[in-house]
Amino acid sequence: MNPKTYATLNGPWQPVHTPHRRQTALAVLAGVLWALTLMSLAWLAFLVSMTTVWGPGPVVWIRPDE
């Protein structure tokens, strides 16, 4: 694109700001929280599917001594 056309449409060119340290930390924290959420959902899905496939297991009734 012609630089004059770009300047007419979008204004003068401005360099991109680099992310601040605080923004980077926030992005890392968000990624960790998403990872924990997805892992917990995967674990829940695994438990539900294994219970569905194998069943809850035998039910053992314990009678109190009479």
Confidence of residue 35 (pLDDT cuts 50, 70, 90): very high
Cα–Cα dist 46/38, whole Å: 12
Q: What mean pLDDT comes out for the span 21-32?
A: 91
What the block records as the tokens of 20 is 């601040």
66 pLDDT more than 70: no
Percent of the chain clearing pLDDT 70 (strictly above): 97
60 pLDDT more than 80: no
Cα–Cα dist 13/6, whole Å: 8
* Predicted structure pTM score: 0.56
Question: Rounded mean pLDDT of the chain?
Answer: 87
**Per-residue b/e over 39-66, b at no fewer than 16 CB within 10 Å?**
eeeeeeeeeeeeeeeeeeeeeeeeeeee
What the block records as the tokens of 8 is 């007419």
